[in-house]
Structure 1
Amino acid sequence: MVTECSAWLYEMLNLEKNPLSGWHGHLVTIQCQNCILMAHDRTRFPLVLPALRKPKFAELNERFVDTFMNTLLKCGATEVRLEAADKYLRPLQIDTDCNRSVQGTINRMKDEFDYQIYYDRLNIVEMTGYNAGAWLADTPRSTKDQRNPIWPKEAMLTLLASLK
């Protein structure tokens, strides 16, 4: 759905191969609130979109962009990397392609996020999700295809640095 805040995304030219495409998301309930946990397929970079109500689902593109850019900031992304991310962002599109390895990563992220909320006595309604995403990005993730674990923060920042 195009809104005033997301119109610029729809004006961007389509890319045949976009390195920032390929996200998996999972709708979870935490503290009786709908939350979306997302992970980038290639880098396993996490996004946390907490306490989503019906009007916020209509603005999912804006929430995705806002959360992605602010989580990158919390991870220490430079201006060059933020500009690369802005250049390659496109509107979210729902697909039926499913990667069980990424889904497993998201399930682990949910358990870790649940633990963080419980241990730090956080209220999900008062969170933006940026710090939680940055915290989750500092955790190594194993994948089915690679022997060595991926560090999502390093992987995403490296990917953005390689884009021109």
Structure 2
Amino acid sequence: MIHIHCTKKLFDKLPLDDDGRLPVKNSAVLQSDSQVVAGQNPLSDWQGNLITLQRRNCILLVHEATRFPLLLPCLTKPDYRNLQWLFEDVLMNTLLKMGVSEQQMDTASRLLEPLVLDNRSDRSVMGTLNQMKGRLESLLWVDNANIQDLNAYRVSNWLAEAPCGIKGQSESVWPNEAILELLDLAADKQVTISVSVDDRRQQEQLPDNVVSMHHYRKTMESK
């Protein structure tokens, strides 16, 4: 699952069931799917807030670990039911605008899971959200831009290019770099898990008097 922790303002707008899930529609993932092989999804845990820009409702999301932002602008009432698809669309297209590698895109796609939303919040992440909201308001003011004309993917990428401070850490985090490091680590972990699973399955299929050469080499290398 991908957890999004919402402010009360956003949480009250969402048509959630008792488990904090949205209706699934036009999504790349199904409610019953589990794309992550083992452990917690590294793409989970976002902070979300409903903000108003030029009298239009927008959702601003920030990934807690990397401070990577996503902007979902100019929402109408049906969009809240379709938040799963909007999240996937903005995330994948923002990564695409960043020029990420094919492997990183594949990893992000594999990590997509159904959203689960609650009304918890983190002060540190909320501080980042408020700073990014200020940057958006400044962008609209200085450039005399219309929020309806902004490209959500480009703006999300633009927000990700500025460093963010994290409570308890001495160094700032660059969201655009941090999200790529996360995807690379997730890809490496997936390769390790896949090799381990394949090797175990291969051993299970062999007769008792037959030894896998791949398994034999690994055993000898470890001695």
Q: TM-score normalized by structure 2?
A: 0.70
Higher RCO (C-alpha under 8 Å, 6+ residues apart): 1
Q: Contact 1:49/1:128 (CA < 8 Å) preserved in 2?
A: no
Q: CA deviation at 1:90?
A: 1.1
Amino acid at match of 2:177: E
Distance 2:178 2:44 in 1: 15
From 135, 141, 151, the counterpart of 1:112: 135
In structure 2, the residue matched to 1:161 is 184
User: Could you say what secondary structure the match of 2:65 adopts?
Assistant: coil
Q: Contact 2:72/2:86 (CA < 8 Å) preserved in 1?
A: yes
Q: CA deviation at 1:162?
A: 1.2
Instruction: Indicate yes or no: 2:122 matched with 1:99.
Output: yes
Distance 2:141 2:62 in 1: 22
User: Could you say what secondary structure the match of 1:94 adopts?
Assistant: strand
Q: CA deviation at 1:11?
A: 4.1
Distance 2:104 2:70 in 1: 17
In structure 2, the residue matched to 1:68 is 91
Distance 1:103 1:21 in 2: 16
Q: CA deviation at 1:95?
A: 2.0
Could you list the runs of 5+ residues in structure 1 that have no partner in the other structure?
A: none
Q: TM-score normalized by structure 1?
A: 0.94
Instruction: Indicate yes or no: 2:8 matched with 1:8.
Output: no
How do residues 1-164 of structure 1 correspond to structure 2 at under 5 angstroms?
A: 1-3=23-25, 5-6=26-27, 8-13=29-34, 15=36, 16-164=39-187
RMSD between superposed Cα atoms in Å = 1.4
User: Could you say what secondary structure the match of 1:10 adopts?
Assistant: coil
Q: Contact 1:138/1:151 (CA < 8 Å) preserved in 2?
A: yes
User: Could you say what secondary structure the match of 2:173 adopts?
Assistant: coil
Distance 2:115 2:29 in 1: 13
Q: Contact 1:35/1:48 (CA < 8 Å) preserved in 2?
A: yes
- Count residues in correspondence: 163
CA deviation profile, 1:33-80 (whole Å, cap 9, x unmatched): 000000000000000000001111111110000000111112221111
Distance 1:75 1:119 in 2: 24
Q: After the TM superposition, which of the residue ranges 71-80 and 100-109 deviates more from structure 2?
A: 71-80
CA deviation profile, 1:11-40 (whole Å, cap 9, x unmatched): 421654110000001100101100000000
Q: CA deviation at 1:7?
A: 6.1
Distance 2:167 2:34 in 1: 33
Percent sequence identity over aligned pairs: 42
User: Could you say what secondary structure the match of 2:118 adopts?
Assistant: coil
Q: Contact 1:9/1:89 (CA < 8 Å) preserved in 2?
A: no
Amino acid at match of 1:53: T
